[in-house]
Chains A and B, each alone.
Chain A
Amino acid sequence: MRSKAFNREGMASEIRQISRRLLDAGEVETVIGYEVEVGGCVCPVFIDCSEETERLIWGEQCVHNLATFLKKPVTKERNKVAVISKGCDVRSIIALMQEGQVVREDIVIIGVDCIGQRDEKGDLLLKCTNCRDHRPQLHDFLVVDAEVDVRRFDVEGAEYSDVEELEEMPVEERLGFWKAEAEKCIRCYACREGCPLCYCVECFTDQNMPQYLPSSPSIQGNFLWLMMRAFDLAGRCTGCMECDRVCPVNIPLHLVNRKLVKDVDELFGYEAGRNPSERPPLSVFSEEDPDEFIM
């Protein structure tokens, strides 16, 4: 069952062709891409042989960041993996490369031009409204979309109006806002598991000597979870907004993670996931870092 959204058949066909070639030649053992599952929704799929490549699709609801699977042991166990990647997904891959989590030679990036993805209601995703990565920066293959408008590559800078809106609130009101969101949290950790950059073998939440935050879903504990994870992502988050998408209770996690993306850009002129050999800003320092706040 296919909806009108899946209208980029030419590109899908190319994706299948590339995948078939790679699998038949034994260059990769698995291709990670998108398919339409029986209920009609797009979701990730792991393809291990040529015959199965028919399942691969491309369209406007390929929202999932497949780079997140590259942090998982299931992919590391296979010798070589090919992954279908949009521009935003490739940034996650580059960010993983920056941190030594992905070896470039071990993966094949099937880059796909993307003019924007839509949610289940058909609305353009927030991150797509000001995208500067319609064409994946890094790729082994590129599936071109004839509609990708060259002009759109000239978008000035990233957009943060929703973060700024929250920044303009008085401090107490902001606290109230985040407490209300923290109350909804059920500590399912989908935000963590869906994030390509959350790859710690033992998450700090599972440590109990010392215990950094309570495990139970109290408002205070959840508030701490939101803050602590945001801090661990400072300077590493690429703004893919998967955290926001996967959250079952609709906590606007992207606001706090992108706030730090904005700050890191302002303070250090740095964006994660652009240059594989750049060091994330919180792993380095400058002698000229601002210190007006220091007595």
Chain B
Amino acid sequence: MGFLCKWCSYAGADLAGTSRLTYPPNISIIRVPCTSRINSHVIIKALATGLDGVLVSGCHPGSCHYVNGNYKARRRLLVLRRLIEFMGVDPRRLQMSWVSASEGFKWASVVRRATEEIRQLGPNRLFLEGET
């Protein structure tokens, strides 16, 4: 699952599409106004309920449309990765990237890399049938 900020990364992903770049189809994208809008609980829920990976992508530091949203998101994810690791979820399942609106190529390569890393971790099955 991808959370992409609308001003930079989503536009970058769009560019990748119009440029007919290929990248793995495993990612489902959700557009958010800014990466700082993402409620960390949603990420926790996604990873704990069986989603194999989450990718958060936003504007480069200094380029955030809302000035500093991406800095706040960076700090949040820094802490969140440590928390999920402590609870038994591989932190490599939570990935972050800076992709600007003009970086179609970068977007494709980010997704390729994230997908490959997460694929190697195997399916994220934390809970069995009777535990949910």
- A–B contact (CB under 8 angstroms): yes
Q: At the interface, yes or no: B20 with Cβ under 8 Å from chain A?
A: no
Task: Please name all residues of chain A whose beta carbon is closer than 8 Å to the beta carbon of B49 when the two chains form the complex.
Answer: 220, 224
User: Which residues between 45 and 75 of chain B lie within 8 Å of chain A, taking CB atoms?
Assistant: 45, 48-49, 61, 68, 71-72, 74-75
CB distance from A267 to the nearest CB of B (A): 7
Chain B residue with Cβ nearest A281: B75
Interface size class on chain B is 35 or more
C-alpha gap A125/B125 in the complex (Å): 37
| Contact assessment for B74 and A227 in the assembled complex, using a CB-CB cutoff below 8 Å | no
| Contact assessment for B45 and A231 in the assembled complex, using a CB-CB cutoff below 8 Å | no
Task: Please name all residues of chain B whose beta carbon is closer than 8 Å to the beta carbon of A171 when the two chains form the complex.
Answer: 85, 88-90
Is chain A's interface secondary structure helix, strand, loop, or mixed overall? helix
Chain A residue with Cβ nearest B91: A293
CB distance from A214 to the nearest CB of B (A): 8
Task: Please name all residues of chain B whose beta carbon is closer than 8 Å to the beta carbon of A220 when the two chains form the complex.
Answer: 48-49, 126-127, 131-132
C-alpha gap A105/B117 in the complex (Å): 54
CB distance from A59 to the nearest CB of B (A): 36
CB distance from B62 to the nearest CB of A (A): 8
Interface core residue of B39, B45, B89, B95 (most chain A CB under 10 Å): B45
C-alpha gap A219/B88 in the complex (Å): 14
Task: Please name all residues of chain A whose beta carbon is closer than 8 Å to the beta carbon of B82 when the two chains form the complex.
Answer: 259-260, 263
| Contact assessment for B84 and A212 in the assembled complex, using a CB-CB cutoff below 8 Å | no
| Contact assessment for A259 and B88 in the assembled complex, using a CB-CB cutoff below 8 Å | no
Task: Please name all residues of chain B whose beta carbon is closer than 8 Å to the beta carbon of A282 when the two chains form the complex.
Answer: 72, 75-76, 79
| Contact assessment for B71 and A231 in the assembled complex, using a CB-CB cutoff below 8 Å | no
Per-residue CB contact flags for chain A residues 35-50 toward chain B (1 = under 8 Å, else 0) read: 0000000000000000
| Contact assessment for A295 and B110 in the assembled complex, using a CB-CB cutoff below 8 Å | yes
Give the residue of B81, B90, B97 whose beta carbon is less than 8 angstroms from that of A295: B97
C-alpha gap A45/B82 in the complex (Å): 39
CB distance from A208 to the nearest CB of B (A): 14
Interface core residue of A166, A177, A286, A295 (most chain B CB under 10 Å): A295
Task: Please name all residues of chain B whose beta carbon is closer than 8 Å to the beta carbon of A256 when the two chains form the complex.
Answer: 83, 86-87
Q: At the interface, yes or no: B114 with Cβ under 8 Å from chain A?
A: yes
Q: Would A285 and B132 be within 8 Å (CB), given that A234-B83, A295-B110 are in contact?
A: no
Per-residue CB contact flags for chain A residues 267-295 toward chain B (1 = under 8 Å, else 0) read: 10000000000000110011101110111
Task: Please name all residues of chain A whose beta carbon is closer than 8 Å to the beta carbon of B77 when the two chains form the complex.
Answer: 293
Task: Please name all residues of chain B whose beta carbon is closer than 8 Å to the beta carbon of A235 when the two chains form the complex.
Answer: 79
Task: Please name all residues of chain B whose beta carbon is closer than 8 Å to the beta carbon of A226 when the two chains form the complex.
Answer: 87
Give A residues with C-beta under 8 Å from B: 166-167, 171-172, 174-179, 183, 204, 212-213, 218-221, 223-224, 226-228, 230-231, 234-235, 256, 259-260, 263-264, 267, 281-282, 285-287, 289-291, 293-295
